[in-house]
Structure 1
């Protein structure tokens, strides 16, 4: 099947018109294809090369419509940096419809009813970052929205300077957010709130449809999935940057890539968002913020479920799920297959040692994946080596207790410790080339994003260490 042969449905439009606003996307001038993900296209049932579809650019640029498509923007509220904003919505995203369980959305496609003072556009710089990171998170096994195609244009868009406009065609099993529930709860629209909950159960949790206490169980599912997602962020060193309740999907998917970053050096206090002057969304603070956001969701659902029961679910579920998932992943990253009583202490000691050593977080794990007692390749990564020396003494003693051979342990670790991480300095290099109409690096990064654990000898340059001047930078929300 070709992309242009897709037949969409629009079940969201069966809800009351308060849920959305019908809007037509605004095309860009002189659009062109920057990159497309065939892997994401497979989610839609597309088996032909999506880049060979002559209609692809026109559809992403809203000059043509897919069959069945009816475009609209969704309404929601949200807690932004802890402060409640009663009316937000898709200010620059336009929904096209749904196919194969994926909701198609254009980001940067012009103004909507919810744009407020915004222009409804996205620029090439931030669009490249979102396109690539969506696919990279999937490559790491983290629940995320996907990106099928990215187009550039000749349209000028004012930001801190004039930049060129772009559109990302992104996909997600749901675009319903915590903030969508907050909108109808704050407006005291209980009937609409129930309609939304029923829609979410149909879309994301159909197994609950005929269950008793289905709304409470829906909430429990959201808690579980959100806890697992943030555990994976922490395990791989991902800092979201803007964890507002309107940027959290009800199915736990990572959405809305703005000023995000993967850790360069291991610094748990790192804040990637330059606008976050209070450090609310620091790397270390993400599990607590997700927990807080889930407490806001529990409050929003109070007309449908008992609030005390929801909070009990939150307290009984979130921490256990988070800790189980986080330690499972971290033990695998450390190469531990059997369980020992002191493994948690070994993990905590490792994290303290990484922080004190001033060392690249993910490069450390890749080197550890082939470690056989010769420490020089690991120690040369560290500014201060004595902390790692002491930890490696403990680690060496621990791995001797493993029933697996060194060869099997290394093989297992190489499947969980990526060689390629899309760090900000490498993304910035790709952006700068793209701004000169060279999109080769964007496509190179797409390849390693989807297969980050593999060796790509011809793309070795994408695994280079972060320059000292580019480590753990802060980024702007401007996109």
Structure 2
């Protein structure tokens, strides 16, 4: 199978069915002397490739920019967007190439290279990606999938010794990404003044991922009604995504509208971070000097971005009051998903209004004492039997003990089987997350042509809820005296 695996894929390119104004045909820049640093069997299975196929020269050629998917000409798409709250005008795939899509029994998956060279949308960029940022994206994509958070996927990581200049000299790499679609809010913003193109984009997205949102009038799609249905569902998916981010301690770091997926996926991993010591206003992106994309600001930013998407749909005949109605449920959807998820993490059968005070005091306790986000939730599952391990996370255990006493009264008061509840809490609270110092460790090994740390991380991150003997190091927060790993928009 391996030799013919790529050729046997049911490949096409549905995005290319849109008119030429949506994209530019442009070839990737192949890496010189590429080497396959890593490939994800889990991601490969999504498009019908087995482990043997990942070791073939044809697979390496495809993922290094030197191959083609069924002789399809690669393309880069155009979009626009707001960056840090400011209209940035035309943007686009400045260093990404869409190779096509693969149709499978489980749906269609687009295959895209990131870091694969300049396109007409590169602006001042060189179109390349460095190994450092590519390792981070590769790991984060698969880590989020392991957590059950909607995300693009990472199929392969190819490295080379090609030099790339950033703050200092680095080496080049390409990540091969998978998604049902890479369409962003920014694609709709780009066509916000063109009825014909916006309608065509709407039809493409509806056919691809939202057939239930199609509204008809006189036997044809009603663009305005369909757009409103779409906006309602995108708003719902985005609200649920924000709840999942917060409950995982995840910060995206650069929630520009051009980084928001129309399918409600986590898209574009740059200066992201999973929190260690909890701070409600934690900023993971050193470029975000004003804290626009702090952990606790993410739901509000998502809603702001949805309003920008809504504005772009007015060209289809959508009236402002109708669009407002579509967005009105965002807060309720977010709160319902957030509270249901938090109840699972806390081992509560259902969220009760009186739990709000317990919740507020929980976050305040973690914030004041800078307790580790992941371990504070994880060890809470067994705090009724081993309070010492949980209390050890807090420099001042007295306030923690007081909160724990209130919490245990609430938890035991609901009845139920205690062992089953502990097991459910362990299934809701990961032991392993992609902490920055762990990603940095993998980066430094990869720079020595060693993928061992990537292997180790993916072993625990693909099922982060199950404790694995011998991998204790990967569950620990960074040492107290460890140097912080800075990440910015160049990461």
In the superposition, the TM-score normalised over structure 1's length comes to 0.96
Bigger mean CA offset, 275-284 vs 204-213? 204-213
Partner of 1:307: 320
Query: Would the aligned equivalents of 1:27 and 1:63 in 2 still touch at CA under 8 Å?
Result: yes
Partner of 1:331: 343
Alignment of 1:84-233 (within 5 A): 84-100=87-103, 101-185=108-192, 188-211=193-216, 213-233=225-245
Q: Secondary structure at the match of 2:396?
A: coil
Q: What CA distance in whole angstroms lies between the structure 2 residues aligned with 1:344 and 1:409?
A: 21
Q: Secondary structure at the match of 2:92?
A: coil
Q: What CA distance in whole angstroms lies between the structure 2 residues aligned with 1:254 and 1:470?
A: 29
Q: What CA distance in whole angstroms lies between the structure 2 residues aligned with 1:114 and 1:434?
A: 30
Judged with a 3 Å threshold, the aligned counterparts in structure 2 of structure 1 residues 380 and 230 are, in CA distance, closer, same or farther, namely: same
Q: What CA distance in whole angstroms lies between the structure 1 residues aligned with 2:78 and 2:239?
A: 25
Query: Would the aligned equivalents of 1:235 and 1:330 in 2 still touch at CA under 8 Å?
Result: yes
Query: Would the aligned equivalents of 1:272 and 1:473 in 2 still touch at CA under 8 Å?
Result: no
Cα-to-partner distance string for 1:375-425 (whole Å, 9 max, x where unaligned) = 211111112222211110101111111332221111101111111110101
Query: Would the aligned equivalents of 2:188 and 2:309 in 1 still touch at CA under 8 Å?
Result: yes
Cα-to-partner distance string for 1:317-361 (whole Å, 9 max, x where unaligned) = 101110011111111011111454422322222111111222000
Query: Would the aligned equivalents of 1:357 and 1:387 in 2 still touch at CA under 8 Å?
Result: no
In the superposition, the TM-score normalised over structure 2's length comes to 0.94
Q: How many pairs are equivalent?
A: 476
The yes-or-no answer on 1:78 pairing with 2:89 is no
Cα-to-partner distance string for 1:62-97 (whole Å, 9 max, x where unaligned) = 222121532000000000001111200000000001
Q: Secondary structure at the match of 2:66?
A: coil
Q: Secondary structure at the match of 1:233?
A: helix
Query: Would the aligned equivalents of 2:98 and 2:112 in 1 still touch at CA under 8 Å?
Result: yes
Please report the RMSD computed on the Cα atoms of aligned residues, expressed in angstroms. 1.5
> Please, which runs of 5 or more residues in structure 2 have no aligned partner?
217-221
Following TM superposition, by how much is the alpha carbon of 1:470 offset from its aligned partner in structure 2, in angstroms? 4.6
Partner of 1:25: 28
Q: What CA distance in whole angstroms lies between the structure 1 residues aligned with 2:353 and 2:245?
A: 25
Partner of 1:289: 301
Q: What CA distance in whole angstroms lies between the structure 2 residues aligned with 1:448 and 1:310?
A: 43
Judged with a 3 Å threshold, the aligned counterparts in structure 2 of structure 1 residues 260 and 274 are, in CA distance, closer, same or farther, namely: same
> Please, which runs of 5 or more residues in structure 1 have no aligned partner?
none
